[in-house]
Amino acid sequence: MIAQLEMRGLQRVLWSYRSLSSSPCRCSSTSPSVVDPLAVNERTSKIPESIQIGGHTYRTDSWTNVTPRISSFVGKNIYLRKNHPLWLIKERIIAYFNWRYPGRYSPAFTVVDNLSPVVTTEQNFDSILVPADHVSRSKSDSYYVNKSHLLRAHTSAHQSDLLRSGFREFLVVGDVYRRDEINATHYPVFHQMEGVRLRYAHELRDDPDFKAIKSPAEVRSPGCQESHTEEAAAVMEKDLKGCLEGLVKSLFGQKVELRWNESFFPFTHPSWEMEVKYNNEWLELLGCGIMEQKILNNAGIHDQIGWACGIGLERIAMRLYEIPDIRLFWSEDSGFLSQFEVDNIRKLIKYKAVSQFPQCTNDVSFWIPEHFEKNDFYELVRDCGGELVEQVKIIDEFTHPKSGRKSLCYRIIYRHMEKTLTKDKANSIHKNIEKIAVDKLGVQIR
């Protein structure tokens, strides 16, 4: 079991689906919004035979784990709402790409921002070479609609379709869904912007003999795929990193502290992640790399080489506007939204907390059963506590020396964004979480 858990941990690091060095200091104040999570208790209701998401009906099966709360985010499209902070960031990135790659008659990059977040497992995983046994495919990491469909876990899910449709340079913007940890910079629904750029050899160097693709392929090295020439890979890396460094400097200023880390994605090689300094800590903004040639070949493209990147929009907005908590992006409060009503997308905005409300902190310790999944508990807390849950963290792990039984102690921090949350109300949610954890996850409260 431990080996299995360690393996999962290792795969996570390699996949880099999570940001590992990205927890900026918490600010004590947040503000506006949201629903009463006590109104529904989804865990206790049975999964219906079919569910409606974004106006479509899907049959459910044993894979279904998307909850009504999560599917209620589909179609909100906050990134398309004029002057929403995510819209501002989206527009700034598009403007930057149009400036950097002007195109002959119209901007080189096509913007695709209206694709449904319900995708097939083929799109989200197979089409971009995610192995069959990869951890990101598990029910504990993704939100499945049923065995064949899920809420996209990244905008990379659309790479292959768009390549097949003939696009060579494109930006895809959309909401993505992950069963993830809960803290100020992670949320189960967030937004990404995917960038893809293909190049012919003659576009890389003004030399008729210059080659980008090797035929036959040779051996893969840490810095280059087997079918790419090292020269072409180096030109692509320079263009990719130059583009993304330029983007970050255009947003945060020339003096921004940034660093590149080597990374791993099944769909790129080599791969990198970029981090910027935020509140004295490194915050991961994006992942990128040289596209696996097989993805291009499968889409019928044999004579071009490409790079791709996936940028987290919330992270950029948080860093740029000093928004302290990722939950705020879902706020409908005019005190929040009105701060972004600007005529010029480049206007410098510094978010001011509308008001301050105290936190309520409650701990829960329990013995866990053998196949306990930490993400199942996060999910349960999210379902029961909704927007009132600010953070969930493990503060103690214990293994009984004789019985070998394991126990975990979680600290759950509650805070209402619009008013003071009474201790009674926090206690009642907390009790509910304990009860449902016992009923549904088989834990034993200590």
Contacts to Mg ion from residues 7-46, by CB under 5 A: 16
Which residue(s) pair with 191 in the sheet?
Answer: 175
- Our CB check for Mg ion shows the closer of 188 and 287 to be 287
**C-beta of 58 vs 97, nearer to ligand FA5:** 97
Nearest CA among 297, 97, 104, 302 for reference residue 197: 97
Rounded to 5 degrees, what are φ and ψ at 322? 60, 45
What are the CA-CA distances from residue 4 to residues 8, 11, 370 (Å)?
6, 10, 12
Number of residues that bind ligand FA5 (CB under 6 A): 28
List the one residue out of 257, 94, 81 whose CA is nearest residue 170: 94
Question: Which amino acid, one-letter code, is at 63?
Answer: W
Q: Smallest distance from the beta carbon of 284 to Mg ion, in angstroms?
A: 5
Which of Mg ion, ligand FA5, none does 118 bind, CB closer than 5 to 8 A by kind? none
Nearest by Cα to 330 from 417, 422, 429: 417
Q: Which is nearer to ligand FA5, 145 or 317 (CB)?
A: 317
The reply to whether 186 sits near ligand FA5 by the rule CB under 6 A is yes
Closest to 408 in 3D by CA, of 423, 428, 422, 393: 393
Compose the 264-303 pattern: x for residues touching ligand FA5 by CB under 6 A, - for all others. Answer: -x-xx--x------------xxxxxx--------------
Among 43, 137, 152, 154, binds ligand FA5 (CB under 6 A): 154
Which of Mg ion, ligand FA5, none does residue 289 bind (CB under 5 to 8 Å by kind)? ligand FA5
Please tell me whether residue 71 binds ligand FA5 under the rule CB under 6 A.
no
Q: Is 329 in the site for ligand FA5 (CB under 6 A)?
A: no
Nearest to 186 by CA among 327, 74, 393: 327
**Under the criterion CB under 6 A, does residue 180 sit at the interface with ligand FA5?**
yes
User: The tokens 């949320």 sit on which residue?
Assistant: 187
Name the DSSP class of 217: -
b vs e for 70-100, b when ≥16 Cβ sit within 10 Å of the residue's Cβ?
A: bbebbeebbbeeeebbbbbbbbbbbebbbee
- Smaller CB separation from ligand FA5, 42 or 141: 141
Residue 192 interacting with Mg ion (CB under 5 A): no
Residues 296-315 that bind ligand FA5 (CB under 6 A): 308-310, 312, 314-315
Per the CB < 8 A criterion, the answer to whether 275 and 282 are in contact is yes
Q: Which is nearer to ligand FA5, 170 or 366 (CB)?
A: 170
The radius of gyration of the chain's CA atoms, rounded to the nearest angstrom, is 23
Positions in 287-326 near Mg ion (CB under 5 A) = 287
Residues that bind ligand FA5 (CB under 6 A): 16-17, 19, 154, 156, 178, 180, 186-187, 190, 192, 194, 265, 267-268, 271, 284-289, 308-310, 312, 314-315
Q: Which residues are near Mg ion by CB under 5 A?
A: 16, 287
